[in-house]
Amino acid sequence: MKKFNYTTLMLLLVALMTPLLLTACGKSVGETIDDATITTRVKTSLLNDEQVGGLRIDVDTFKGVVTLSGRVKSKEEEARAIALARKIGGVTDVKSTLQIQP
């Protein structure tokens, strides 16, 4: 059995992974990076806001649509979280599956 050197192995891995990355979840690499950036910015905004319990809220982004899930203490906290997410650049819509649990 022939041994592959590190460079050959890495090139083979890149060649095999590139098509997967380009078609992953129907998004391009650029869209994936944009969604990750949006997710990070929304989460940071939630964590920095004193009225929102950002640690209890999960953020997911797909093609600019942000989905908030988790628990909040009140309807006002949910509304504040949605408003904060909408302020982030690149967000096209915000969906909430937040559950109110005082």
**Do the domain assignments include residue 6?**
no
Say whether 19 sits in a helix, a strand or coil.
helix
Tens of pLDDT, residues 54-91:
899 999 999 999 999 999 999 999 999 999 999 999 99
Nearest CA to 35 out of 102, 101, 98, 90 is that of 90
**Do the domain assignments include residue 40?**
yes
**Do the domain assignments include residue 44?**
yes
**Neighbour tally for 38: CB within 10 Å:** 23
- How far is C-alpha 95 from the geometric centre of its chain's CA atoms? 13
Domain residues for the domain of 53 are 27-100
**Neighbour tally for 71: CB within 10 Å:** 15
**Do the domain assignments include residue 93?**
yes
Instruction: Work out the average pLDDT over 46-58.
Output: 92
Q: Would you say the pTM of this structure is higher than 0.75?
A: no
Nearest CA to 81 out of 62, 14, 100, 63 is that of 100
Residue 38 maps to which CATH number?
3.30.1340.30
Q: What six digits make up the tokens of 75?
A: 């309807």
**Do the domain assignments include residue 18?**
no
**Do the domain assignments include residue 10?**
no
Q: Has residue 2 got a pLDDT over 50?
A: yes
**Do the domain assignments include residue 66?**
yes
Average model confidence (pLDDT) for the chain?
A: 84
Q: Has residue 3 got a pLDDT over 90?
A: no
Q: Has residue 13 got a pLDDT over 80?
A: no
Asked if 59 and 88 count as a contact pair (C-beta separation under 8 A), the reply is no
**Do the domain assignments include residue 9?**
no
CA distance 91 to 102: 28
Instruction: Work out the average pLDDT over 39-48.
Output: 94
Instruction: Work out the average pLDDT over 39-59.
Output: 93
Query: Domain count of the chain?
Result: 1
Quick one: pLDDT at residue 1? Answer: 45
Pairing relationship of beta strands 57-62 and 93-100 according to DSSP bridges: unpaired
